[in-house]
């Protein structure tokens, strides 16, 4: 059973920078896991931010960036805005056509 | 503009069946993997299944294997999820999404399994 880990919650000040991470219960995340990131506000469908580690989806501002930091995938938000307050999910490709989501990070902007 | 519209959700008794549909437009459906993702009330996202462009490859999360079947009709630009032997824990909003990387999402359809 593959476990994908995310911080349950995080807080950032308006205008600040925050990095959310996506790890594996055992092992390191690399680009071969093709990490993707999604933003979701209550009652709405998820919105795709980043795919294939660091490719921004259409219309996503460049304040959002994806990378590999150490042994985890990372989503960095620079110049945080009030409407960035959302749940953020990562998903990893673990092979054989199977993908696994992390539990999500609730980001508060205050 | 890419559009994905799910339908077919509703209330079903445990052990029952339901077939979800997803109507796609705004892209070449027959050239795209498609996926289903679900979200139980108040919980996180869970990847459920995906299907290759021509339907020749299908993959499922362990918890639905043998109960759910993903399929597609490229002539109708439609994706389906046949759900059998439904359980209370299958209660969720079900989203269809374009590609393995879930590049675009529909608005979802709610499935409630309850007696």
CA A49: distance to chain centroid? 8
A76: helix, coil or strand?
Answer: strand
Tell me the average pLDDT across A16-29.
Answer: 96
Q: If pLDDT is split at 50, 70 and 90, which confidence band does A43 have?
A: very high
Tell me the average pLDDT across A4-20.
Answer: 98
**Chain A positions in Cβ-Cβ contact with residue B103 (cut-off 8 Å):** 48, 51, 57
Read off the pLDDT of residues A68-99 as tens digits, 9 standing for 90 and up.
999 999 999 999 999 999 999 999 999 999 99
pLDDT of residue B105: 97
Over B41-109, what HEC string results? CCCCEEEEEEECCCCCCEEECHHHCCCEEEEEECCCCEEEEEECCCCHHHCEEEEEEECCCCCEECCCE
- What pairs with residue B49 in β-bridges? B36, B60
Q: If pLDDT is split at 50, 70 and 90, which confidence band does A13 have?
A: very high
In percent, the amount of chain A with pLDDT more than 70 equals: 100
pLDDT of residue A87: 98
Read off the pLDDT of residues B45-91 as tens digits, 9 standing for 90 and up.
999 999 999 999 999 999 999 999 999 999 999 999 999 999 999 99
**Chain B positions in Cβ-Cβ contact with residue A48 (cut-off 8 Å):** 101-105
B 6-45 near A (Cβ less than 8 A)? 35, 37, 44-45
**Chain A positions in Cβ-Cβ contact with residue B94 (cut-off 8 Å):** none
pLDDT of residue B50: 98
- In this complex, do A48 and B103 lie within 8 Å of one another by their Cβ atoms? yes
- In this complex, do B105 and A46 lie within 8 Å of one another by their Cβ atoms? yes
pLDDT of residue B15: 98
- Interface residue A5 vs chain B (CB under 8 A): no
- Residue linked to tokens 């339901």: B18
Q: Is A96 left (phi over 0), alpha (psi -120 to 50) or beta?
A: left
pLDDT of residue A36: 98
């Amino acid at each position: 059973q593959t476990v994908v880990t995310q911080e349950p919650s995080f807080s950032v000040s308006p205008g600040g920078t925050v990095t959310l991470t996506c790890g594996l219960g055992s092992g390191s995340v690399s680009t071969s896991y093709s990490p993707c990131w999604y933003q979701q506000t209550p009652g709405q469908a998820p919105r795709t931010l980043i795919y294939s580690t660091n490719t921004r989806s259409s219309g996503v501002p460049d304040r959002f960036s994806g990378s590999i930091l150490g042994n985890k995938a990372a989503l960095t938000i620079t110049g945080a805005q009030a409407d960035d307050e959302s749940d953020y999910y990562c998903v990893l490709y673990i092979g054989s056509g199977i993908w696994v989501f992390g539990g999500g990070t609730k980001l508060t902007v205050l | 503009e890419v559009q994905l519209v799910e339908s077919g959700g509703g209330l079903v008794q445990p052990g029952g069946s339901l077939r979800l549909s997803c109507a796609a437009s705004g892209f070449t459906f027959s050239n795209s993997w498609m996926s289903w993702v679900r979200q139980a009330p108040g919980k996180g996202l869970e990847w459920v299944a995906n299907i290759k462009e021509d339907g020749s490859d299908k993959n499922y999360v362990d918890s639905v294997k043998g109960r759910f079947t993903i399929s597609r009709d490229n002539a109708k630009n439609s994706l389906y999820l046949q759900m059998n032997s439904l359980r209370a824990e299958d209660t969720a909003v079900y989203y269809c999404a374009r590609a393995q990387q879930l590049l675009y999402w529909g608005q979802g359809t709610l499935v409630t399994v309850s007696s």
